Amino acid sequence: MGEKADLSCRRQNRGKKHTGTAGGRTEKRNIPELPETERKKKHTGTAGGRTEERNMPELPEVESIRRVLEPQLRGLAVRHVTAKRPEIIAHPGAEEFCGRLAGQTVDHMERRGKFLTLCLAGGDRVILHLRMTGRLLLTPADYPVEKHTHLIFQLDDGRELRFCDTRRFGRFWLLRAGEADTCSGMDRLGMEPEDARLSAEYLRSAFGKRKKAVKECLLDQSVIAGIGNIYSDEILFAAHICPTRPAGSLTEEEWERLAAEIPERLRFFTEKNAVTPEEYLKGRGQEYRNTPFLQVYGHAGSPCPVCGEILCRTVVGGRSSVFCPACQAELP
């Protein structure tokens, strides 16, 4: 269960007439898209007076990186690897990692949850997780080296694939052809949000008996892979479910809505994050094109885009959460 919500938004909402309900239930509604200028003006990046950082890449950002980099990397060979911070290489040791990759060719790139995998032509795999502040940049050799660049792959076309990470939480794993992945944690991930088997029944069977807040459940990577703090807020807003609700209290209709909104919202934000290779490099891999489309995350204290109520901030499982007290009533 989440901690007590910020009461300032509730005081502001007192006396306001809410028209977004029918028979005590929130009506299903289409979430409006603000005009481009209004979206930019409206997004303040704050929650409860504090700046909300959009550092942690989630599924839409990681998938966007894959879509930008894979076509450029396919068929390129690794000439040399330099590990400036050996500790970011979790398996095997840095020396073996760098030596074994020299001369190998990239076949394709895959995403699983928030993990990326460089699949090499010989069968070896490089798995990586960006964690909080990791970035992958494909640059010309003479491109200025970013501060906190910890790993550099020199490629046979003269370019370099660079890994930058301010906090140094990102990790790399190199698996030989046929080697089981017992180290990265990717084998423990649940199904992808786009999986056709993701249904109301699947969610209810996984979460239906839990007393935890439904938002905490959505962050469980062993059930659904790739959802983080940002998009759990957006998904729950679209499904008009309060993030602090115990998962076991959800109704059948709410499970159905949640199962529908999970893939829809992630697909929407992935498409809104589309960027060209040139734009990606210019933004140094850290500009999120979908930020102006966020409806609630980072908007605490602003009017709800659907009903006009003031959006509230609370804390769920140690994570900042923003919701509409009218559209996402705490009681069903």
Beta-carbon count within 10 A of 270 CB: 21
- The answer to whether 319 is a known catalytic residue is yes
Q: Taking Cα atoms as reference points, which of 303, 232, 307 lies closest to residue 43?
A: 303
All residues at 6 or more sequence positions from 108 whose CB lies less than 8 Å from its CB, including other chains: 70, 74, 119
Cis check for the bond before 92: say yes or no (omega within 30 of 0).
Answer: yes
Is 40 marked active-site? no
C-alpha span between 256 and 291 (Å, rounded): 27
Among 160, 183, 179, 161, CA closest to 171: 183
Select which of 57, 243, 305, 325 is catalytic.
57
Burial string for 205-228 (b: 16+ CB within 10 Å, else e) reads ebbbeeebbbbbbbbebebbbbbb
Catalytic-residue membership of 79 = no
In angstroms, the CA 141 to CA 329 distance is 54
Of 54, 100, 111, 114, which is the active-site residue?
114
In sequence order, which residues have a C-beta less than 8 Å from that of residue 139 and are 6 or more positions away?
A: 159, 160, 162, 281
In contact, 289 and 189? CB cutoff 8 Å: no
14 is catalytic: no
Active site residues: 57-58, 114, 319
